[in-house]
Amino acid sequence: MTTAKGNENDVPFLDLITPHVELEQELTKVFQQGLRTAGFIGGPMVEDFEKAFADFCSTSHAVAVSSGTDALRFAIMGAGIQPGDVIVTVPHTFIATSEAISQAGAHPEFVDVDEQTYNMSPERLREYLEKQCSTDPAGKLISRRSGRRVGGIIPVHLYGQMADMDAILALAEQYGLVVIEDACQAHGAEYFSKKNNRWMKAGSMGCAAAFSFYPGKNLGACGEAGAVTTNDAKLAGKVKVLRDHGQAKKYYHDVEGYNGRLDAIQAGFLHVKLPHLANWNAARRERAAEYNQLLEPAEGSVTRPHEPSWSRAVYHLYVIRTNDRDGMIKHLKEAGIATGIHYPIPLHMQKAYDYLNYRQGDFPVSEQVASEIVSLPMFPTLRADQQVRVAQEIMRCLRVEVAR
Ligand SMILES: *Cc1c(COP(=O)(O)O)cnc(C)c1O
């Protein structure tokens, strides 16, 4: 995604070309190997990548699938969520989170996000569980808004920053709910768990987690790809069956499944890129620290990302907040700087979810955030001089005097 004008000073939002050109020989070799073995789907290239990715996430299993959306859907089904059950998530996320809930036969309900981290607020979750649910005679937790049994929670590690997992997991345990992490933007992010007294990787904390390897993610394939991580061998086995038409043995179908396998070539590409991920994430963290410093003079007009002491974010996106968001985007565009909005309309206000009967005002933080956020250019090879330009244009737009 470069800007339309193609001026030399332009700052793109994302650079997907440089890292692939640098790895061209290795990636080409994977393609050749694919051609020469004709092992296009599944097989050793997929299994080798699965092992390596499980290692990276400090989980015992990773099951590669065809997208992050499928990863979420299969994780939900594999975790034993019953059709019709409620899964609680946030309205401030990409729609794939709630699509996967519906497509797994479950029912999405929302709780608001935290004002500082933009991730699921444990307080709002507690309020939902305590005040908006009741217990039926069988001891099951029932949502009052839908009359359905509540089965699980999907916190999203949005922008590459961890949700507050200790608090969420404690509530889940108290109410007997499963937790599935949407880690589609958080490959390599870490959370300091007080409960376990150690840093833990995104994807290793819930009963399962979903990752996306969409090309623009921190680890991206050269096409569509995803994975489920888990420490539960049984759950991993269920996901393997679901991704392959419900068969554990060819043409013996215990359940109806899906066509959700990963191409061998994509697994090979991902395996070539995986050893670079830690460095790419470190570069993103450095770029984020640089933006934090450059934008400090605009404090008061620009809210920079907040990283709690328990979070090591991997900055899939660098998102600021400002009052006149649309004005800033327009100004930056005219200066040749590409930006994004992730995401402009909270899920409960989307037409697709009219049927859930939420109203404007139901999730005030999500609504406020959605109207004020701007994602600035962020990728590992973003240059310091490009960041200076971005910051200068932001100051100019805000008419902030910069003493430099
Ligand atoms: C990208 C993304 C997904 C979906 O992943 P795909 O690979 O595009 O299907 C789900 N949730 C979040 C938060 C994402 O950013």
Which tokens go with 68?
């992050």
Q: What is the pLDDT of residues 251-308, one digit of tens each?
A: 999 999 999 999 999 999 999 999 999 999 999 999 999 999 999 999 999 999 999 9
Q: What is the pLDDT of residues 84-133, one digit of tens each?
A: 999 999 999 999 999 999 999 999 999 999 999 999 999 999 999 999 99
Residue 402 has a pLDDT of 57
Which tokens go with 150?
């509540």
Q: Map out the domains of the chain with their CATH numbers.
A: 21-275 (3.40.640.10), 277-403 (3.90.1150.10)
Percent of the chain predicted with pLDDT > 70: 98
Residue 381 has a pLDDT of 96
Rg (CA), the chain: 21
Helical (H) or strand (E) element with 69: helix 68-78
Residue 2 has a pLDDT of 46
Of the pLDDT bands very low, low, confident and very high (cuts 50, 70, 90), residue 400 is confident
Phi, psi of 193 (to 5 degrees): -85, 115
CB-count exposure of residue 60 (10 Å: 0-12, 13-18, 19+):
middle
Which tokens go with 335?
């200066």
Mutate to test the pocket of ligand 1, among 76, 154, 214, 317 (most ligand atoms within 8 A of CB): 214
Average pLDDT over residues 195-210: 98
Q: What is the pLDDT of residues 334-359, one digit of tens each?
A: 999 999 999 999 999 999 999 999 99
- Best CA proximity match to 193, nearest among 168, 175, 171: 168
Residue 1 has a pLDDT of 47
Using CB distances shorter than 6 Å, the residues near ligand 1 are 67-69, 93-94, 96-97, 156, 182, 184-185, 212, 214, 226
156: pLDDT strictly greater than 60: yes
402/290: higher pLDDT: 290
Measured from the Cα of 185, ligand 1's closest atom is 15
- Best CA proximity match to 216, nearest among 18, 11, 14: 14
* CA–centroid distance, residue 24 to ligand 1 (Å): 26
* CA–centroid distance, residue 97 to ligand 1 (Å): 7
* CA–centroid distance, residue 258 to ligand 1 (Å): 18
Mutate to test the pocket of ligand 1, among 66, 70, 95, 97 (most ligand atoms within 8 A of CB): 97
Of the pLDDT bands very low, low, confident and very high (cuts 50, 70, 90), residue 404 is very low
Average pLDDT score, the chain: 96
- pTM here? 0.97
Residue 60 has a pLDDT of 98
20: pLDDT strictly greater than 60: yes
Mutate to test the pocket of ligand 1, among 66, 76, 94, 182 (most ligand atoms within 8 A of CB): 94
For residue 200, give Cα distances in angstroms to 79, 97, 393: 21, 22, 38
Which tokens go with 58?
């400090």
Q: b/e for 304-326, b at 16 or more Cβ within 10 A? A: bbebeeebbbbbbbbbbbbeebe
81/400: higher pLDDT: 81
258 and 105 in contact (C-beta within 8 Å)? no
* CA–centroid distance, residue 394 to ligand 1 (Å): 29
For residue 148, give Cα distances in angstroms to 64, 163, 274: 32, 25, 41
24: pLDDT strictly greater than 80: yes
